[in-house]
Amino acid sequence: MACTSMMPNSNVNNHKFPTHASPRPWSGRVNVNTKSETLLAKRLVVASAVAPPIVATKVGKTMSKLARVWREVQGSSNWKGLVEPLDPLLRQEIIRYGDFVTACYKAFDLNPASKRYLNCKYGKKSMLSEVGLGDSGYEVTRYIYATPDINIPIQNDQCCGRWIGYIAVSSEEETRRLGRRDILVTFRGTVTNPEWVANFMSSLTPARLDPHNPRPDVKVEAGFLTLYTSDESTSCKFGLGSCREQLLSEVSRLLNKYKGEEMSITLAGHSMGSSLALLLAYDIAELGLNRNNDSNQETPITVFSFAGPRVGNSGFKQRCEELGVKVMRVVNVNDPITKLPGVVFNDQNFRVLGGRYEFPWIYSCYAHVGVELALDFFKMQNPSCVHDLETYLNLLRCPKGLQIRKEGTDLLKKARELILSGAQNIDTLPWKNAASTMMSLVQSQRMFS
């Protein structure tokens, strides 16, 4: 497997966490590696390749440190100094939350003959144990179902709500280990036909989630919004409430139950699931559900996004930053889904011209939110691996197990160069085949993710 790792050095001893928890100004995208630092990048890659993996004998020491610096790990300072190089404690937490997202896929029933088809295979009390996370220290409190506002019945079932994730809370022992009570919400990516169609609705629409202040300049992708807000009240007599209603109700209940404790709200998702996670994070913060009026304190909200597409426009991004929503975007630079929607109309493209021209329609451009942790991997024989969650996590777990390669991994750029140059003097067949597969992936993932 020809993969590229841009993972940095994981030296525990040389890293010092910031001593304060107040947010610092954030300048924008943070990459694990950049083209302008080729020599340094090569050193970081080599260092990552030989870095020892986390072993059981170090867990106790690492976790006691987590309880002391959890706010920094959750992004209170926008992960300043923790991404370049990637801090091993942050790496461990990213993997841990990624495993919770993987649980959604493992527990999702894809057997058409099963009575639980397109729902969770297990009950709430046993689900984490069934998928291998019995020792995670979390208890599932509620399952979440989503219903796109599109009538595509499955198995002659007029109700199209499907299991999309779960809410869990840390146990007493885990809370002591983490240094706070953690309310966790995880989302899977797209599987069902209605979700595919909903995700294909690539247009911006005002979010209008706060009834007291609609904020028309805050816009999000229409397909993600319909998955988040639609319910089954018109199609089913005993239909589900919207995904949003389920989420806000349970998160509010847990916040009230553990009121007075130090808490965190952590949202994690893959692909489309990361979009729902970010919408929920914005919704909670905009409504002020994480604010304690008695103590005038806020429960921090953090999103761990894996292979996530853009969710909203520049107004949405600015509002999330104003509200203090922290987002860690784990992306593969070769994953086309992370560049959708808004391949052309996005804040990165128009930021180049922003210094000379004013664009009255800047709020019509898509924008990513948060700090980016950029990985770099690609497999010629299977280009679809660029979007696979397990591949993301495996690279984070054991970068030395992958073949390190610095050149020739940007397939879309390579394909464009081949077209422009004619590429008459090189063997282009492998690249043409891979490019064709990649373009098919882009088209399918616009519906599947």
Long-range contacts of 284-292 (CB under 8 A, 24+ apart): 284/248, 284/251, 285/320, 285/323, 285/324, 285/325, 286/209, 286/210, 286/319, 286/323, 287/209, 287/210, 287/248, 289/248, 289/251, 289/252, 289/255, 290/255, 290/265, 292/259
Catalytic residue chosen out of the listed positions 76, 170, 271, 275? 271
HSE, CB side, 13 Å, CA atoms: give it for residue 403: 9
User: Where do the H-state alpha helices sit in 183-309?
Assistant: 193-199, 222-229, 243-257, 272-287
Classify residue 109 as exposed, middle or buried by CB count within 10 Å of its CB (0-12, 13-18, 19+). Answer: middle
Residues whose CB is less than 8 angstroms from the CB of residue 363 and which lie 6 or more positions away in sequence, other chains included: 217, 219, 313, 314, 315
Catalytic residue chosen out of the listed positions 76, 231, 387, 449? 387
For the chain, state the CA radius of gyration.
22
Cβ-contact 247, 167 below 8 angstroms: yes
Task: Identify whether 271 is a catalytic site residue.
Answer: yes
Torsion angle of alpha carbons 27, 306, 61, 261, nearest 10°?
Answer: 80
Distance, CA of 185 to CA of 169 (rounded, Å): 9
Coil/strand/helix, residue 105: helix
Distance, CA of 64 to CA of 388 (rounded, Å): 32
Distance, CA of 60 to CA of 283 (rounded, Å): 36
Task: Identify whether 182 is a catalytic site residue.
Answer: no
Neighbours of 332 (CB within 10 A): 26
Catalytic residue chosen out of the listed positions 182, 231, 335, 388? 335
Distance, CA of 128 to CA of 121 (rounded, Å): 11
Residues whose CB is less than 8 angstroms from the CB of residue 289 and which lie 6 or more positions away in sequence, other chains included: 248, 251, 252, 255
Distance, CA of 368 to CA of 394 (rounded, Å): 24
Distance, CA of 152 to CA of 234 (rounded, Å): 14
What is the residue-wise DSSP string for 337-388?
GGG-S-SSSBHHHHHTTTTT---TTGGGSEE--SEEEEE----TT-GGGGG-
Give the phi and the psi of residue 291 in degrees, each rounded to 5: -100, 130
Task: Identify whether 347 is a catalytic site residue.
Answer: no
Neighbours of 108 (CB within 10 A): 20
Q: Which residues are catalytic?
A: 271, 335, 387
